[in-house]
Structure 1
Amino acid sequence: MKVAVIGTGAVGQAMSKKFLELGHKVFMGTRDPQQSMNRKDSDQWGTPGIGAWIEDHPQVQLKSFKESVKSGSDLIIFAMNGMAALDVLKKIGSEILGDKLMIDISNPLDFSQGFPPTLSVCNTESLGEQIQEAFPKLKVVKALNTLSHPLMGNPGAIEGDHNLFICGNDAAAKEKVTGLLGDFDGKRKTSSI
């Protein structure tokens, strides 16, 4: 499968690594690939700069947001801060997003008032709903956003049964995502809403 991972931070790196391990072709999307390749230093949490990470994972192709989605035509993973979701997806464009399947891992974290962040969208509406409304053909499935990035691709790090919430308005898309996530370790149980 060809997978476009939108985002180059800790979550994007974790998802790209996992899909590589599962034998998929991965295209990672960023605003400016050349500028991103120059980022080598780790951030304050120890996440490697994407330039250094790509050097260690040369199978991943770093492209612009739009080009990564064109290349990763089977599945999109949105792995950025949710505050940027609508803007980034609009830049990619409805015609390119089409009716593709997208796993939205993002949370709309608002750091404008410092730490800890608040949610910019909550209670009566969700970011997933906003994305679905803006791109009605896109098959948006919200998943993994309740986990920290080290667990997303390595659920076996916690013993026992695993439960994940899978949300979206397309039953077939949710079933496909459930199957993909089951491949991560074969032990996950999911609840669709």
Structure 2
Amino acid sequence: MRISVLGSGIVGRTLAARLVDLRHRVVIGTRDPGRPHITRWLRGAGELARAGTYAEAARSASIVVNATPGTATLDALHAAGAAALAGKVLVDVANPVGDPAADPPRLRTGDRSLGEDIQATFTQTRVVKALNTVSPSVMVNPKRVPGDHVAFIAGDSRQAKTMVTGLLREFGWSPHAIVDLGDITGARSMEMLFPLRQRLSRSLGHTNFNLGILHA
């Protein structure tokens, strides 16, 4: 499958590397594909990976992963272009953090989640919120955390969520661990978990953790 990952930070590179390991063809989309950290990464990524602009990456794939910082997401997607994103599944793993350096972390205020903003802006794109509640290393390898723990998804398109569920299963998430929170408004509660995740990482001293659900 051809998959584009928008964003060349640690989240984007981690996701792209795992997708390449799974033998997908991957394009990392970025403002400047020639930046040194991207060319260094590409040298070790193999022939299935390349870099391009946001627009080039979006045009080349059937699934687009948004791994840009939440405050830059809409600008990046506008640079990719609504026409290039139309009809495609967009997996949004970003969090709308207002100031990454703030402690405690602060989410951007507003009536809607970032996932909802993306869907409302790019109406022809099928947005699925996923994986934003765990660290990059756990996103692509849930076995780093022992026991039963969950990955939430939310989106308006059942077909798109089925595709994303398949991708998560490739990463190693078991079917019972993938919890569907319904339509894209479910992204609000997912994004609200980010401050908890940040505080837990400070308390525990690492990011190899996740949340589980116990119920009758």
Q: Once superposed, what is the RMSD of the aligned Cα atoms?
A: 1.6
Name the structure with the higher strand share.
Answer: 1
Change (3 A) 1:174 1:55: same
Cα distance, 1:23 vs. partner? 1.0
- Higher deviation after alignment, 20-29 or 178-187: 178-187
Change (3 A) 1:17 1:98: same
Query: Is there any run of 5+ residues in structure 2 with no aligned partner, and where?
Result: 183-216
**Paired position in structure 1 for 2:164:** 177
**Paired position in structure 2 for 1:142:** 129
Work out whether residues 20 and 45 of structure 2, in 8 Å CA contact, stay in contact via their aligned partners in 1: no
Work out whether residues 77 and 105 of structure 1, in 8 Å CA contact, stay in contact via their aligned partners in 2: yes
Question: TM-score w.r.t. structure 2 length?
Answer: 0.78
Aligned residues: 179
Question: TM-score w.r.t. structure 1 length?
Answer: 0.87
> C-alpha separation between the residues in 2 aligned to 1:29 and 1:130?
20
> C-alpha separation between the residues in 2 aligned to 1:96 and 1:121?
29
**Paired position in structure 1 for 2:74:** 86
**Paired position in structure 2 for 1:100:** 88
* Structure 2 counterpart SS, 1:151: helix
* Structure 2 counterpart SS, 1:167: strand
Cα distance, 1:116 vs. partner? 4.1
1:127-166 matched pairs, under 5 angstroms: 127-166=114-153
User: How big is each residue's C-alpha offset from its partner over 1:26-66, in whole Å with a ceiling of 9 and x where there is no partner?
Assistant: 000010112x2x2xxxxxxxxxx333222211331011110
* Structure 2 counterpart SS, 1:103: strand
Query: Is there any run of 5+ residues in structure 1 with no aligned partner, and where?
Result: 39-48
Cα distance, 1:162 vs. partner? 3.1
> C-alpha separation between the residues in 1 aligned to 2:23 and 2:148?
25
Change (3 A) 1:28 1:113: closer
Work out whether residues 57 and 80 of structure 2, in 8 Å CA contact, stay in contact via their aligned partners in 1: no
1:1-150 matched pairs, under 5 angstroms: 1-34=1-34, 36=35, 38=36, 49-59=37-47, 60-71=49-60, 73-111=61-99, 114-121=102-109, 124-150=111-137
**Paired position in structure 1 for 2:201:** none
AA of the residue aligned to 2:31: R
Cα distance, 1:108 vs. partner? 0.9
